[in-house]
Amino acid sequence: MNKNSIFIAVAIAVSVGSAAFAQDQDGPIVTNRSNESADALRTREAIAYSNTLPRGAPTQDYPLVAWCDALVTGHADLGETLTNRSPEDTELVRLGRLEAQDFRSALAAAEPRQTAASKAAAQQAAAAAKAQWAPLLASQDEAARSQSFGLFYGLPGRCEHAARRIRNNITTPPATPADVGLEEPAAN
């Protein structure tokens, strides 16, 4: 583990503090925790934006949220094809649907502010993500569908921050790890 990884791990532990991760009720996934300080949110966002995105993920926020929505929706769709779902699988599908709802509401709020190019990029990103799920959704091999459902590792942390940023029309660049004290600023 390098020095930056240690700083990031410590920062996460400190910024999270006593904040609860579980939601108290059903509804869209909460990305702006009311008990989270602005500094803690800024630190989480800096960490999320500093991590490399998976291959094929768009880097701009609006298309990224469309991509995230399509991935989590495809995962939930795949889970619903399973005939012998465990209670945990059913809960993952439910939570995926809530997360997708949050992404779609962010996309809808931001849509009027997007350029034609950004909207086209979002449509392309969503189509590419949906295409990844299509062969599994069409498969008659339930064991393969079940295994793939279980192997989905989730979305990049940047997805929740990008959704919050586009919903709230935040146009300033996200903080960097150096901005929040996790790394020393680059020398000029």
Question: Taking CA 11 as the corner, what is the angle to CA 8 and CA 14, rounded to the nearest 5 degrees?
Answer: 155
What's the pLDDT tens digit per position in 57-84?
999 999 999 999 999 999 999 999 999 8
Give the pLDDT confidence of 10-43 residue by residue, as tens digits: 333 333 333 333 344 444 445 445 678 888 989 9
- The arithmetic mean of pLDDT across residues 94-98, rounded, is 96
Integer angstrom CA distances of residue 114 from 56, 58, 97, 127, 131: 21, 15, 25, 18, 24
Using alpha carbons, list the distances in angstroms from residue 88 to 21, 32, 58, 83, 149: 18, 26, 30, 14, 12
Q: Alpha-carbon distance 67 to 154, whole Å?
A: 12
pLDDT of 6 above 50:
no
pTM above 0.75, yes or no: yes
